[in-house]
Structure 1
Amino acid sequence: MKKWVMALFLGIASPVLAQDGDLDDKFGSGGIVVTDLKGASEWGRSVKIQPDGRILVGGYAMVEENQDFLLIRYLEDGTLDDSFGISGIATTDIAGGADYGYSVALLPDGMILLAGEVQTGESYHMAVARYHDDGTIDSTFGTDGVVIVPVGNSSAAWSVVTDENDYIWLAGQAVMLESNDMVVVRLKPSGEPDPDFDSDGIATFDLGGNDVAWSIALLSDGSFLAAGYTNLKGTDDFALIKGNSEGRIDEGFGDLGSVILESNDGTDRCRAVRLDFENHIYLGGTLFEDGKYKAAVIRLLSDGKADDTFGIKGIASYSLFGDYENGYDLELQADGKTVWAGHSRVEGTWTFSIMRLKEGGALDLDFYDSGYRSVPIGTGQSIGFSVEVQDDGNIVMAGYQSDAETQDVAVARMMGSSGPLPVELSSFTGYLSGNQVYLSWTTKSESNNYGWEVQRFHPDPEGPEETGSQETEWKTIGFVAGNGTTNVSKSYSFQSQIMVPERSRRATHQSLFRLKQLDLDGSVSYSQILSVNDVPGGFQLLGNYPNPFNPTTVISYQLSENSKVTLQVYDVMGRLVATVVDGNLEAGFHQTVFPATGLSGGVYFYTLRAGNQTQTGRMLLLK
């Protein structure tokens, strides 16, 4: 690895700029932080980057005689965040026995979820705890801040995610009568099991062997993908299932709802599933090939078939350092590159390992000259489990490092670049009126912006009533030219006749839209998905964008008639903090900019009043 190259020119020594993959010397000590709680064992199992850039690691730690749930928060430079827990560290004894935290999720209001397994008597069961942003347990959630989900004889939750309604999804495994089964659980925001999901909030899936769901991804239509492995064919193979919003298997996906990727006689294990903007499915883990355990990324089409444009028949697998690469996590960058992470055996010692692939599955040689690297920490073993890509492209890994007697939480940060997005959106709003859609958006700046494809999503497999056709993908309904390169804010609008809202959403009269931004060099990026309401001349508060936001957001609303209007913002205690609008407005569509100058970060509510009509929305200010 080359750190510096000294070039003599007119007597001046010039350092070469750090490349992607180099350890970030602005983080910890040379890019590495090791946290010792002075116990025998502390493991970092999951890492998340909070919107303000602080780094949250979840796992478990030995406290007195048992393992407890563990959360650690670091500032951007790797120092412990004294505003969190006790000196940056929070531990929770869940049920008096051994408690293991495996996966962290962040909620829009700043709350934190940590899921795993806890010991209750002689058994272990799935559990999730919810914390305030300061690391204290949220006693309003479940029972004293914790929900335990007994499934089968024993169970464990390996992954937790949340959807747009703050419902909580757990994926894992349960020991049933004769074998392990995949388990997916859906909880209400309060922690109660959702009876609309397989009647009791718990869905189990038996693929015929010992089956494990290690990771879960959610689709915009309410369905889900659960990925892991099964030994149905004798040895462990990658396994993927798709279920609908009611918790039942989607038999139209793969082979009657599942995809099992059988390779050779060795052990293949999938531990991560991710979706890109076009619903390509990415699976990450380890494949046994040619007598070696290789780092593997598999890409499938949305129907479960292999994507032949990626790797070799959808598979990109690499032997990085020798005979064993153990994959645990996967992240997708904004520029289409894929980051695989785990640990590898290097000359007999386990070390953090990371690999970055180009969009087509080839090794990205702009990353550490080879497309991969190891990160040894300390003099013993270093085991990597989780990876996150920051907004600036830097890459954070978490796990633990060990010596002969103890294990300590370890975090490493590497330089990276996710490819600067050519356009920065500051607002994106819209509404439907009859069979017309009205969209508007504003940019802060643009770089080489060719223009925008306006796209609409059709999640209903039965299709719109007018055609009877099957529409299950994003459709381009128009194009708006961009402004090339400019540092001046630009505003755009789009109006078009469309088919009526999809049947699956007709009860709420909503449609989904997004912007596909095209760069002059042919690269693309996508906006957030916008859900807009059908408001045929009625009174409607249409929401705010962006949300979360900092420091400004745009609130959109529709008036049915000329009215005296007020738009006011309140904090969570119900105190008025701003009056944004107070006056007479004409009927029609309106947008108002709300600058949150001087306000602290957190949840705020905004209330629109026109005549005797009132509606309220929620927004999150990030600081």
Structure 2
Amino acid sequence: YSQLNPEWVQTYNGSGNGNDESLSHITDDSGNVYAAGKIFQTASLFDIYVVKYNVPGNKIWERIYNGPGNGNDIANSIALDLNGNIYVAGESKGDSTGGDFILIKYDGNGNEMWNRRFDGESSSTDAVIKVVTDNSGFPIVSGTSFNLNTLFDIVTIRYDPEGNIVWNKMYNGSSNRNEFIGDMAIDDSGNVFISGSSFVQGEGDNFLLIKYSNNGDQLWTADYNGPSGANDNITSLTLDNNGNAVISGSSVAPGTGIDFATLKYSGSGQELWLRRYSSSAISSPDEPKAIISDIHGNIFVTGASVQSNSYDYLTVKYSSSGDELWTRRYNGPSGNNFDEPRSLTTDISGNVFVAGLSQGTGTMDDMVIIKYDSTGNQIWLNRYNSAVNRNDVANNISIDISGNITVSGFIAGTSSLNDFAVVRFSQLTNLFQHYNQNATDYYLFQNYPNPFNPSTIIGFSIPSESKINLSVYNSLGKIVRTLQNGYLKPGLYSYKFNSSGLSGGIYFYTLKTDKQTITRKMLLIK
């Protein structure tokens, strides 16, 4: 299978040398990445850690938050507004309030603008699972909050950009038992969709979908009880371009055990279709982990599925009308072991990218990313194993406008358990090899056109198989883009360099090989 070379790998190890982990990340239109999660500290247990990296992987800023209770503080979700402000949300130990909702706003330079805490009615366990922003820059958080009378409820709060509460809604089901949020999404009109599970007497946990208006009015709810009347637990939610909501989770059925269950609802709450997927292994679990829709309304669901005594990646594509278009399974090289996808994303061409973990041969868990085209053909599969041959896990994946892939999660530390990690890969879609051309020397051609805006062609030749690095530097000598880093066969190559996100001025591009280093100058006019 084809291997992608990481453009860069960035890690952070908390002072406690414990289990540090990125739980959420997002990329902006310029290709910068913002990641948030938890780091283990010597004096304060888990603290919230937030970091920004630019396109070449330089750390722009980092922030650590330790709550008033000096206990566990964990960021579960991160979001951006249209002005480049960052919202980080999760759970934080209060001074005398147990675990609280926490929402922190940073500006684009990493300055903390404000933070807001919410303590539920019983001053017990409260945790934000997801934060989103609407088109007006208002952040909305949703999570679970414990109440002595009603147990766990779903609480959703909308704030204005200054941190004032606009509305606060609690959902408690008919049985006064546990309700848990799975996911949240917002449409272009500011309507908020919450997916989760709700306990119903005699039925166990059911799928739950709630829709709130922009003003916080509960417009409708929908639920689903699987054919066995047993526990049905929702995982994730996506919205299509027409305002329909699609949810997916695990649901028990007679004879097949735990299955994928995917349901599509209209914006008015009408169930449009229900699809269940069960593997050929009788009564074996199939558990979805993530769902996404593409620009055409197709739905992709991925999760862990047991077949032949092993957990595999399973990805299913449905049409907008619910037709199953294809399924794809991946069983890692170690055979009957554990492979689990955790996140997926799509690009404008209809390709889907699935990321998670897969047991390797002698390497424990590796980060694994798989790319399928729109018809289900596997384009490439990439395994990433860090130097210490221990667990490396991708929790989230995103793709930027240049086609760069970012995954975040954790990789095994050299002197710690696990380190907070962000890894960026390039698909090298702009690299073209002229196979009929013979190269007799290492050479770097002058880019064409020059001056340029926004794109230019950089050509180079290598006479033998070589490890090369092709990078672009600004006038201060700092790397702004790594275009190629890895082994190439002999030949003549051209690379289409896109200057998106860069300001005008003089830049240098350098070809480094084992034999020599060659540098040329180019001018970007904006």
TM-score scaled by structure 2?
0.61
* Correspondence for 1:330 among 341, 344, 363: 344
Task: Report whether the alignment pairs 1:59 with 2:78.
Answer: no
**How far does residue 410 in structure 1 lie from its aligned partner after superposition?**
1.7
* Correspondence for 1:297 among 315, 334, 354: 315
**How far does residue 363 in structure 1 lie from its aligned partner after superposition?**
1.2
Given that 2:30 and 2:501 are in contact with CA atoms closer than 8 Å, whether structure 1 keeps it comes out as no
- Letter paired with 1:306: D
SS in 2 for 1:138: strand
* Correspondence for 1:282 among 284, 295, 300: 300
Given that 2:367 and 2:393 are in contact with CA atoms closer than 8 Å, whether structure 1 keeps it comes out as yes
Residues 158/415 of structure 1: CA separation in 2 closer, same or farther (3 Å cut): same
Given that 1:274 and 1:331 are in contact with CA atoms closer than 8 Å, whether structure 2 keeps it comes out as yes
* Correspondence for 1:267 among 285, 290, 294: 285
Given that 2:342 and 2:395 are in contact with CA atoms closer than 8 Å, whether structure 1 keeps it comes out as yes
* CA displacement 1:352-384 (0-9 Å, x = unmatched): 1111111111211xx3xxx34343353422122
* CA displacement 1:171-227 (0-9 Å, x = unmatched): 666789999999584635455336654746997957465454443323445553344
**How far does residue 37 in structure 1 lie from its aligned partner after superposition?**
3.2
Given that 1:173 and 1:212 are in contact with CA atoms closer than 8 Å, whether structure 2 keeps it comes out as no
**How far does residue 347 in structure 1 lie from its aligned partner after superposition?**
2.3
* CA displacement 1:63-116 (0-9 Å, x = unmatched): 3223222211123222321xx3xxx33335276542222222221111112233
Given that 2:44 and 2:66 are in contact with CA atoms closer than 8 Å, whether structure 1 keeps it comes out as no
Given that 1:182 and 1:206 are in contact with CA atoms closer than 8 Å, whether structure 2 keeps it comes out as no
Unaligned stretches of 5+ residues in structure 1: 2-19, 421-443, 447-548, 552-595, 598-622
The match for 1:251 is 270
Given that 2:350 and 2:373 are in contact with CA atoms closer than 8 Å, whether structure 1 keeps it comes out as yes
* Correspondence for 1:317 among 329, 333, 343: 329
CA distance in 2, matches of 1:124, 1:201: 30
**How far does residue 331 in structure 1 lie from its aligned partner after superposition?**
1.0
Task: Report whether the alignment pairs 1:355 with 2:370.
Answer: yes
* CA displacement 1:389-416 (0-9 Å, x = unmatched): 1222221211112358532112222221
* Correspondence for 2:236 among 206, 210, 215: 215
* Correspondence for 1:47 among 7, 10, 25: 25
Q: Which moved more, 1:173-182 or 1:117-126?
A: 173-182
Residues 204/337 of structure 1: CA separation in 2 closer, same or farther (3 Å cut): same
**How far does residue 135 in structure 1 lie from its aligned partner after superposition?**
2.4
The match for 2:440 is none
Task: Report whether the alignment pairs 1:387 with 2:397.
Answer: yes
Q: Which moved more, 1:97-106 or 1:219-228?
A: 219-228
**How far does residue 146 in structure 1 lie from its aligned partner after superposition?**
4.4
Residues 172/76 of structure 1: CA separation in 2 closer, same or farther (3 Å cut): same
* Correspondence for 2:426 among 409, 415, 427: 415
Residues 243/137 of structure 1: CA separation in 2 closer, same or farther (3 Å cut): farther
The match for 1:525 is none
* CA displacement 1:230-274 (0-9 Å, x = unmatched): 4576954334455666xx8x232224xxx5544453333322221
CA distance in 2, matches of 1:414, 1:181: 40
CA distance in 2, matches of 1:116, 1:271: 20
CA distance in 1, matches of 2:122, 2:287: 23
The match for 1:467 is none
SS in 1 for 2:166: coil
CA distance in 1, matches of 2:289, 2:273: 19
The match for 2:63 is 89
The match for 1:343 is 357
CA distance in 2, matches of 1:355, 1:379: 21
**How far does residue 276 in structure 1 lie from its aligned partner after superposition?**
0.9
Residues 182/317 of structure 1: CA separation in 2 closer, same or farther (3 Å cut): farther
SS in 2 for 1:254: strand
SS in 1 for 2:58: coil
Given that 2:84 and 2:107 are in contact with CA atoms closer than 8 Å, whether structure 1 keeps it comes out as yes
CA distance in 2, matches of 1:326, 1:173: 25
SS in 1 for 2:48: strand
The match for 2:515 is none
The match for 1:112 is 86
Q: Which has the higher strand share?
A: 2
Unaligned stretches of 5+ residues in structure 2: 170-211, 432-452, 456-499, 505-525
CA distance in 2, matches of 1:210, 1:178: 22
Figure out how many residues of one structure are paired with residues of the other and give that number: 381
CA distance in 1, matches of 2:87, 2:240: 20
The match for 1:137 is 112
* CA displacement 1:25-60 (0-9 Å, x = unmatched): xx4xxx322222323332112222222322211111
Given that 1:158 and 1:215 are in contact with CA atoms closer than 8 Å, whether structure 2 keeps it comes out as no
- Letter paired with 1:332: T
Q: Which moved more, 1:118-127 or 1:67-76?
A: 118-127
CA distance in 2, matches of 1:317, 1:55: 30
Q: What is the RMSD computed on CA atoms of the aligned residues?
A: 4.3
The match for 1:237 is 259
Given that 2:9 and 2:424 are in contact with CA atoms closer than 8 Å, whether structure 1 keeps it comes out as yes
Given that 1:158 and 1:214 are in contact with CA atoms closer than 8 Å, whether structure 2 keeps it comes out as no
Residues 135/170 of structure 1: CA separation in 2 closer, same or farther (3 Å cut): same
Given that 1:56 and 1:72 are in contact with CA atoms closer than 8 Å, whether structure 2 keeps it comes out as yes
Alignment of 1:112-191 (within 5 A): 112-119=86-93, 124=99, 127-139=102-114, 144-146=115-117, 156-166=127-137, 168=139, 185=156, 187-190=158-161, 191=165
**How far does residue 339 in structure 1 lie from its aligned partner after superposition?**
0.6
CA distance in 2, matches of 1:146, 1:126: 5
* CA displacement 1:575-596 (0-9 Å, x = unmatched): xxxxxxxxxxxxxxxxxxxxx9
Task: Report whether the alignment pairs 1:78 with 2:57.
Answer: yes
CA distance in 1, matches of 2:257, 2:151: 14
Residues 180/44 of structure 1: CA separation in 2 closer, same or farther (3 Å cut): farther
The match for 2:199 is none
Given that 2:404 and 2:425 are in contact with CA atoms closer than 8 Å, whether structure 1 keeps it comes out as yes
CA distance in 1, matches of 2:236, 2:288: 9
Residues 60/232 of structure 1: CA separation in 2 closer, same or farther (3 Å cut): farther
Residues 148/225 of structure 1: CA separation in 2 closer, same or farther (3 Å cut): farther
CA distance in 2, matches of 1:226, 1:123: 31
Task: Report whether the alignment pairs 1:22 with 2:4.
Answer: yes
* CA displacement 1:487-542 (0-9 Å, x = unmatched): xxxxxxxxxxxxxxxxxxxxxxxxxxxxxxxxxxxxxxxxxxxxxxxxxxxxxxxx
Q: Which moved more, 1:103-112 or 1:62-71?
A: 62-71
CA distance in 1, matches of 2:260, 2:123: 23
The match for 2:246 is 225
SS in 1 for 2:112: coil
Q: What percentage of residue pairs aligned between the two structures are identical?
A: 17
Given that 1:162 and 1:168 are in contact with CA atoms closer than 8 Å, whether structure 2 keeps it comes out as yes
**How far does residue 345 in structure 1 lie from its aligned partner after superposition?**
0.9
CA distance in 2, matches of 1:236, 1:34: 36
- Letter paired with 2:260: F
CA distance in 2, matches of 1:171, 1:61: 23
The match for 1:506 is none
Residues 225/123 of structure 1: CA separation in 2 closer, same or farther (3 Å cut): farther
Given that 2:25 and 2:408 are in contact with CA atoms closer than 8 Å, whether structure 1 keeps it comes out as yes
Structure number with greater CO (CA < 8 Å, separation at least 6) is: 2
The match for 1:560 is none
